[in-house]
Amino acid sequence: MESTAKNQIWPRREGGQKKALRRASGSERRRQIIDAAATIFSQKGFSGATTKEIAAKAGINEALIFRHFGGKDALHDAVVEDRFEDIGNTELRSELRQAAERKDDEAVFRTAATILFHRYQSERDVLRILIYGILEQRKFVVERFENELKPLNDLLADYIAARCADGDLICGDTELAVFGFIGMIAHHATVGELMRSDRDMPGAEEAARVYSEIFIKSLRKC
C-alpha cells in the first residue's frame, strides 16, 4: 500500500526512473487563480461568488487564495486590474492615429468603434465584471474602466474639436458627443451579451460602420 501511494506522487517513467510532478510557480499559481476568479465573478458578481467556488474552479486548496491575495476583495481587484489592463490592440490604435492625421472622419470613428467592440468581445467576462461592478458599486471597477477609456475618449474629443476648428463639423460639447458615441457601442455590446441575441444583431464590423456613419452625419453641417 505504501509503494502504491508513493507511486501516485512520484510517477514512474520508462526504465524505472521516478520524476516528481512539477509544482506551479507563484506567478503561474496567481494566473490560475485570477483566470478562475474572473470566470466566477463574471457569472455571479462579487457578492455572489465565494472563495470556495473559485478554488474549486482553479482546482486548488482554498487556502492558496488567501496566501496569494489575502481575501476576496483583493482578489477581485487583481482580476479587474488584469482584465482592464489595456484597450484595443496596437494595430488598431495605429490605424486610429493615422486616420486622425488624414482627417478621415469615417475611418476615425469606425476604427474607434472597432477598438471598443474588440475590447468588449475579446474577453466576454470583461463586460460582465464591469456590469456587476457598477451594480454592486465596486468603486475600483468603475475607476479602472474610466482610466482605460480615457486615452480613447481624449483622442476623439480632441479630434472633434480640431475638425470643428477646421469648419467641417458642428462644434458643441465634445465630451458629451464622445460619451454618446461610446454609449452606442456599449449598448450594442451589452444587449448582445446580456440578452444573448448576437444572432439577431449585426456583427461588430457592420455595427461599427453603421454607428460611425450615424455619428458623423449628426456632426456634419447640412
d(CA 108, CA 159): 9
In the DSSP assignment, the letter for residue 85 is S
d(CA 218, CA 105): 12
CB-CB contact of 140 with 77 (8 Å): yes
pLDDT of residue 73: 95
The least confident of 35-39, 87-91, 156-160, 164-168 is 87-91
Identity of the residue numbered 99: A
How do residues 106-125 score in pLDDT, each as one tens digit? 999 999 999 988 877 766 78
88: left (phi over 0), alpha (psi -120 to 50) or beta: left
Of the two residues 174 and 24, the one the predictor is more confident about is: 174
Range(s) within the chain of domains with CATH label 1.10.357: 90-219
pLDDT of residue 193: 66
pLDDT surpassing 90 at residue 4: no
- With a pLDDT cut of 70, the percent of the chain lying above it is 81
CB-CB contact of 82 with 129 (8 Å): no
The least confident of 20-34, 40-54, 172-186, 191-205 is 191-205
Q: How high is the mean pLDDT of the chain?
A: 84
CATH architecture of structural domain 90-219: Orthogonal Bundle (1.10)
- With a pLDDT cut of 90, the percent of the chain lying above it is 55
pLDDT of residue 83: 83
Of the two residues 221 and 116, the one the predictor is more confident about is: 116
Question: Residue 60, exposed/middle/buried by CB under 10 A (0-12, 13-18, 19+)?
Answer: middle
How do residues 57-72 score in pLDDT, each as one tens digit? 999 999 999 999 999 9
The values of phi and psi at residue 47, to 5°, are -65, -35
Question: Which CATH superfamily is 20-83 part of?
Answer: Homeodomain-like (1.10.10.60)
Range(s) within the chain of domains with CATH label 1.10.10.60: 20-83
d(CA 125, CA 38): 7
pLDDT surpassing 50 at residue 5: no
pLDDT of residue 202: 72
